[in-house]
Chains A and B, each alone.
Chain A
Amino acid sequence: MKALLKQKEFSVLAIVIIICVILSFVSPVFLTVGNWMDILEGNTVIGILAIGMTLIIITSDIDVSVAALTTAVAVSIGFMFQYLPDSWFSVVLIFLIAPLIGMLLGAFNGILVSKIQIPAIVVTLGTLNIFSGLVLYFTNGNYINSTQFPQSFMAFSNIEILGIPILIYLFALVAVSTWFILKYTLIGRSVLAIGGNAQSSTRVGINFKKVKMFVFTYMGFLGGVAAIAQTSYTTAVDPNGLMGLELTVIAAVVLGGANIHGGRGSIPGTLLGVLLLAIMQNGMILARIDTFWQNVVTGAIIVIAVSYDEINHRRNQAKLANIDVKEAS
């Protein structure tokens, strides 16, 4: 099992290491603590969303509404900030309300996917249009900047423990608890089982609809958390700021070895996928790559990574047949 697990994330890990080695030769700043803090903090939002997306992709669905959902929550936060008093209580309240709003929106996706059985990509395409359309209609795209934020929230976003920004702790907390849920709880195991083989898992008594409902609601919950992270990272709410981020999130998850056909995918893999995209972004300027070629490099690396992963995966499949469920865990 252990060896297998390593195999699965091996390809992306290898690519991450290769790029790291190259970058540390090219740029002396790359391997500094400060740079890594920046990378991690800067990718907290993508990371949190990617973790939620991993569960959805494991159950062979997809959610393209995540960025719109997160923006909707962020805008609600910005709206509430105008009425909240300046005290630590406001921060706690935001941490309760934001995930709740996210869960409601996510549950809306979940109901349509599980009860009405509309394919997830269609549902979320629809809700992507609905969420972002409504957000733009109500905000008119206007920024809400930090002058309207309670000072306590600003203080929260500047907290550093042991020199590490609070957002990185938040990211780590989400990663570890989701990993725990997947590994040690009934519902988490059901997610993996359904991804492995939907039919046989329902035969052994797993409630298919409930699991679908769970993954989308959980995505919404994490969208709410990501909205807090985003707001505290940019210290402003920009209704257009996350536009198009859903594709980056999906790219990170699949780069991390999650299979869009379900069953395959893990939290460590996704984290590596996020890291790969992050260091590529970071490295472009550090390596002083010509602006106009940056997308060519990024695209090429994605194609190479997914092809390499697929070839690797096939080789393993050939060696070990019928490992669907076991492999995913």
Chain B
Amino acid sequence: MTNIKLSKESVLGLIALAIFVGLSLFTPGFLSSGNINSMMFQLPEFGLIALGMMVVIITGGIDLSITYIAAFSGVGAALMMTNGFGIFPAIIVGIIFALACGAFNGVVVSKIGVPPILVTLGTMVLFEGVILAITNGNAISGFPDAYSLIGNGYYLGIVPFSLVIFFVFTIITGLLLNKSTWGRRVYMYGSNDLATLFSGVKNSKVLMKVYLYASLLAAVSAIIMTSRYNSVKVDLGSSYLLQSVAAAVLGGTNIHGGYGKVMGTIYAVLIFQFIRNGLNLMGVHSSLVDVVIGAILIAVLTLNFFSDKLSRQKAKAAS
């Protein structure tokens, strides 16, 4: 109890640090200012989606529609801008679009009680279809220059503005989960929904907010992505879907719910980012990058298993 034991998250943080140092030493160009800079720009959009996914996974659910929510929200914002509205109304509409999707997921999950994986599997196809029907599959582009500053600009001339946004939402997510009543109930629901219900918590309200919050993060990510890429298409960010699940679980989030820390997910996102970038710089074939990421996922969890086992044995021996 008293000795300083590293938590799962801190170990992961050290792994991230080790990878960072290792790549800096062995990959020419990894530590170059240009590269660090581009990594900082790449991080936020994926990080936000991973955080959203994590919150859902803490309740024991999963949101397979999250990247299409992001795309849908991007389409909403893009349509506003190309029709002559200002940036702020566009962002608001983008967020509203996303929240509408989140509310839909939330209602079906919390009121009807359909398992989240099924609901979001269906809504994934549904949202994709709606986007296709709206855009006819074409990309929407041509946003005002000021909009592109969100994803490409610097805050105080140093830090990418998108990274600041990400940082802010990381802190908000952390605070909400750890300090608010809602946050505590999210964990409670995740570890035992029945007990939570019997202790007088309105589960459906908690769940509803979870899906709304995840879709809000997706919307923020969408705004950064559309601004960075200056365009939106039906598959905006679709490659982040399974990656975000992987990041959340690599970050220690329990896939059955009840446990998950913001920091863990952030470290996992960093690990993915470093490795992808480092291997790309080394000129490793992109298919092998996937292999390495898959292997790391399994390796870290295997390690966790054996370290858990070890500490349990120690605990037994001690008692």
Contacts and interface: CB of A to CB of B under 8 A. Distances in A.
A contacting B, Cβ–Cβ less than 8 Å: yes
Given A116-B301, A129-B291, A136-B287, A254 B118 contact: yes
A308 to B, nearest CB: 9
A314 B113 contact: yes
Given A137-B287, A250-B121, A128 B242 contact: yes
Interface stretch (A24-32, A217-225, A291-299): A291-299
B126 A300 contact: yes
Interface stretch (B131-139, B145-153, B213-221, B225-233): B131-139
Nearest to B241: A247
A129 B245 CA distance: 13
Interface stretch (A84-92, A117-125, A166-174, A318-326): A117-125
B183 interface: no
Main secondary structure of the interface of B (DSSP, over half): helix
A119 B129 contact: no
A130 interface: yes
Contacts, number: 145
A251 B249 CA distance: 22
A130 B294 contact: yes
A303 B113 contact: no
A61 to B, nearest CB: 10
Main secondary structure of the interface of A (DSSP, over half): helix
A126 B129 contact: no
Contact of B297 (A122, A292, A311): A122
Given A295-B126, A296-B130, A300-B126, A116 B289 contact: no
Interface residues of B, number: 45
Nearest to B246: A125
B127 A299 contact: yes
A299 B301 contact: no
B8 to A, nearest CB: 14
Q: Most B CB atoms within 10 A — which of A127, A310, A314?
A: A310
A310 B255 contact: no
A112 interface: yes
A296 B112 contact: no
A126 B285 contact: no
Interface string A123-164: 101111110111111000000000000000000000000000
Interface of A: 62, 64, 112, 116-119, 121-123, 125-130, 132-137, 247, 250-251, 254, 259-261, 292-300, 302-303, 306-307, 309-311, 314
7 contacts: A116-B301, A125-B297, A130-B295, A295-B133, A299-B122, A299-B128, A302-B121
Instruction: Please name the 6 residue pairs, one residue from A and one from B, whose CB atoms are nearest each other, closest first.
Output: A299-B126, A295-B129, A129-B294, A302-B122, A296-B129, A133-B290
